[in-house]
Structure 1
């Protein structure tokens, strides 16, 4: 073959290759305008497969090429979640950070809290007009919405678009936490985590104790005696009969564990009673509310009610009303979690800088130990409307908030003031917290290491660093005997003082083992809860004698409780 022929053949081959390449490009153009199916959602193929979009959809922290605006059912917090003036739930440090980091923006279709939030969700479900992202309260609601085809399967999104760190967080709770968000093996929600809060602490006016020369409390009997002294001797100067007894909400105990304010769980625990919890007793799984120990606890609460040391108006109290009593100086003691300095006490000392609120661990047995029932590791569940083109958006947001942000860069600087100012987690769009099971004790140990042991401040996360600064400022203010900043006080008192109290080696956790719903529960649990609430209140107030408890137990068992007990036991075999 001569040289000319060889070059001719080579040239012909390149023409064919070029033609084939152009054909592929043209075909790609056609494909880009086609419609494909992904997870049952119609999408523009070009939108889905273009390089930048594909990477964004499969990488936890890669921003979208264009802003994704998603509609949101927004859960709000008290006092506008403590956000600074001018910030809103659509425009705050969290949303600005997420816009910068991921190029996402929420548009809230409703903003509300508590029972009102659940009502808004129910209305949206009934109307078929769901926001792209919203929260539900329970795994039963997740299953119901999944069965009705209203929420998206998030399995692939979780696998592809959740950071390893966030997956490790969920892993710290074992397999159960994600399993509760699954239906037929598929993930339909992203659960909020509930960190170990430990037992409730007694929060008490230490300045009142000093004024009356009373010793600090160690037992429930001490609490009762101190409250009586507060009421009779009026160290707050409220006037005769104006200082309340120990405040509590009508429910008396925290149904979801100890991260409840204004309850009397510690009093129940002092009788080895754990109402509302499924616990093991003598090798058998039992419901705590119907045990003989609970009868004894109710008898004690009735005695307190008779003598006024349990607030005689507790039937008419709610969280907001009790908070007003605390802030106005009419209440000198309540049981609450370690984070009580953030709410309501920060506002209380803002109004009265002489109010010296301190936490105490109250023992529940003669050995000096403090027992408490473990709580449900799941909080709320984040779900995505089926048909929304970007179900992975919640995974990206959670990864950006709870993986990258704690160790962040300049983009996270604005959030440091949110931490030190105790802005509530409900300020973030999803309104949830995702953290390791032992995150409270870990944070305490890290802060103590820097504050007391000379460890390197640079090893702290952004969140811990903001707490460290607030603690430093508080200690300086306190040492100089100058008026302390309530925000700094709240950080130090919750993250150092209270966290130290519940890390005590005498704290003993009683395992609560069942948080799901059985078949009989679906039809009977609401009525049984109402029956229980009526019985407890009637016994405490004296409307019914103590013997009524036995009648309540018999009725509870006959109205479905016996079947439920057998179902719970079978589920835990």
Structure 2
């Protein structure tokens, strides 16, 4: 209780820091705002900042009468800051968005002022094109102190945008995201007199029973143990993830990820233990314990069987409960509980891929309103701290409401009821609401008696109990989250060979699990991986790592 209070006091103290974007009255830089001044935190006359946006998550989710460039958040920016945010380059899914940005490099599209980039190869190409600006001095001069305090914690997030010691961008809302938990049909465990598994042996016993002992009681062999996705990789990092099975045998060496040990980086998919993990998955697949279509199911597809009451276990981040909880309404007696992921064969915890940011911000070389950008960006963080204009959320009647003097996050109880809350945070150029909650600190504080005296804690407390329990587990086990040690642009050999190597990896892993190839095919894969470019790539990745740690660019930006 005392620790929670101290932590909350620290958060409130930090959130009370003034966003130092110059004085009360300062000239703006760019020609578009040459006559505008910043007075009392607002530009007069207003200035416009153009952005690019990958909008697949938010398409069509505006209230009637609102749109991409005219909604509750864009209006707030104009009315309160004198900043008009206009999307001038819009992409749907990741592929379409990247295509549009590449067209901008050729002059077919105009590059906006602010460019979110989610692909390290594209970030490198933008730097090489000369069309994005170096922002080290802008960060030093204009980034507010509370943002500097955040970015100081995540120095590696600058790696994709550093070239020759210069910084050409910055992470979008850096924060260690929540870890994954096991979601299990508790009613199935209870019916079969089983406990939640904590080891690989116990996990096998449970998924065998879920497959063979008719846990739903309908007299049909139509259930199985564990659903996950193998379509894109065997380490999704967020939902429908089988990575804990690999980590049970490989420890910190995760498929598709680079691990640093003693200053050296190595690739997880060719590490010792993968063969044993594949052998186990192969055995389970042959016995029907896994979803039969795992090789063709994406992450969202693989959760369908759990939601429909066919599968008993799925792994994902705590919010996954909100996407699968319909099974509790649609299947009589269904109950979901959350548990930590299992331990490895050595008794240690299993590890997961950690995520520190979702893309990077880059800026048009001709953009001269970085001070205004930082003012706007810092204000968006009020939602993360529960302060300022965004104490409870971004907009009353959209993502929260006050009914009979009580704050509610239940859209059906709003003064004008909604079927779901409006994702105002997804309307921002961050694409998601910024967070400083780490792997779930607010939930941990609540579970340990913290009082709900700020909007962040109130919002966390409003979630489903099962989801809250998942976040507590996530926070308590945040030491298992391992961000990939390599997050730079593709190396020279990667540009020519990486697609072939990753395709080979996925195909071999899948064929072994399906018993289309013998287990020994893994040994051949490892040899071919090294021979067909993997060895040279490992050398280049380590050279990149050594080079990335040469220049103290954090000090240059005033972030140390």
TM range, smaller chain:
0.7 to 0.9
State the 1:220 CA deviation.
2.9
Instruction: Give the Cα separation in 2 of the matches to 1:237 and 1:99.
Output: 59
Q: Hey, what does 1:428 align to over in structure 2?
A: 428
The 3 A distance-change label for structure 1 pair 564 and 413 is closer
Other structure's SS at 1:379 match: coil
Q: Hey, what does 1:537 align to over in structure 2?
A: 510
TM superposition score normalised by structure 2: 0.77
Q: Hey, what does 1:219 align to over in structure 2?
A: 199
Other structure's SS at 1:292 match: coil
Worse-matched range after superposition: 506-515 or 266-275:
506-515
* Aligned partner of 1:526 among 493, 496, 499: 499
Instruction: Give the Cα separation in 1 of the matches to 2:165 and 2:198.
Output: 48
Q: Hey, what does 1:20 align to over in structure 2?
A: none
Matched, 1:289 2:274: no
State the 1:228 CA deviation.
2.9
Worse-matched range after superposition: 520-529 or 106-115:
106-115
CA-atom RMSD in angstroms: 3.5
Structure with more helix by fraction: 1
Instruction: Give the Cα separation in 2 of the matches to 1:549 and 1:457.
Output: 52
TM superposition score normalised by structure 1: 0.75
User: Following superposition of structure 1 onto structure 2, how do residues 461-480 of structure 1 map, counting pairs within 5 Å?
Assistant: 462-468=455-461, 470=462
Q: Hey, what does 2:145 align to over in structure 1?
A: 164
Q: Hey, what does 2:375 align to over in structure 1?
A: 396
Contact 1:247-1:322 at 8 Å conserved across structures? yes
User: Following superposition of structure 1 onto structure 2, how do residues 428-507 of structure 1 map, counting pairs within 5 Å?
Assistant: 428-432=428-432, 434-436=434-436, 439-449=438-448, 452=449, 455-458=450-453, 460=454, 462-468=455-461, 470=462, 488-489=463-464, 492-494=465-467, 496-504=468-476
Which of 1 and 2 has greater Rg?
1
Q: Hey, what does 2:404 align to over in structure 1?
A: none
Contact 2:384-2:433 at 8 Å conserved across structures? no
The 3 A distance-change label for structure 1 pair 389 and 347 is farther
User: Following superposition of structure 1 onto structure 2, how do residues 61-460 of structure 1 map, counting pairs within 5 Å?
Assistant: 62-76=41-55, 78=57, 88-108=67-87, 109-126=89-106, 127-173=108-154, 175-193=155-173, 195-197=175-177, 199-236=179-216, 240-251=220-231, 253=233, 258=237, 260-272=238-250, 273-280=253-260, 285-342=265-322, 344-346=323-325, 349=328, 354-366=333-345, 368-375=347-354, 377-388=356-367, 390-403=369-382, 406-409=385-388, 412-413=391-392, 415=394, 418=399, 420=409, 425-432=425-432, 434-436=434-436, 439-449=438-448, 452=449, 455-458=450-453, 460=454
Instruction: Give the Cα separation in 2 of the matches to 1:187 and 1:296.
Output: 42
Deviations 1:68-114 (A, max 9, x none): 34443322354759777776544555434433432334333425234
Other structure's SS at 1:382 match: strand
Instruction: Give the Cα separation in 2 of the matches to 1:399 and 1:353.
Output: 47
Deviations 1:230-255 (A, max 9, x none): 33344446773443542222247565
Other structure's SS at 2:350 match: strand
The 3 A distance-change label for structure 1 pair 195 and 560 is same
Other structure's SS at 1:365 match: coil
Instruction: Give the Cα separation in 2 of the matches to 1:396 and 1:87.
Output: 24
Q: Give the total of aligned pairs.
A: 494
Contact 1:444-1:500 at 8 Å conserved across structures? yes
Unaligned stretches of 5+ in structure 2?
1-26, 401-408, 411-420, 547-560
The 3 A distance-change label for structure 1 pair 101 and 178 is farther
State the 1:309 CA deviation.
0.9
Deviations 1:522-563 (A, max 9, x none): 222122111211111111111111111111111111111111
Instruction: Give the Cα separation in 1 of the matches to 2:344 and 2:57.
Output: 36
Instruction: Give the Cα separation in 2 of the matches to 1:247 and 1:314.
Output: 8
Deviations 1:323-370 (A, max 9, x none): 43333333331111233234x235555656854222111332356431
Instruction: Give the Cα separation in 2 of the matches to 1:546 and 1:430.
Output: 44
State the 1:306 CA deviation.
0.7
State the 1:261 CA deviation.
0.8
* Aligned partner of 2:521 among 539, 545, 548: 548
Worse-matched range after superposition: 548-557 or 126-135:
126-135
Deviations 1:428-455 (A, max 9, x none): 333145444x623432343235xx3xx4
Contact 1:83-1:418 at 8 Å conserved across structures? no
Instruction: Give the Cα separation in 2 of the matches to 1:371 and 1:81.
Output: 39
Unaligned stretches of 5+ in structure 1?
1-35, 471-487
Instruction: Give the Cα separation in 2 of the matches to 1:70 and 1:37.
Output: 13
State the 1:265 CA deviation.
0.5
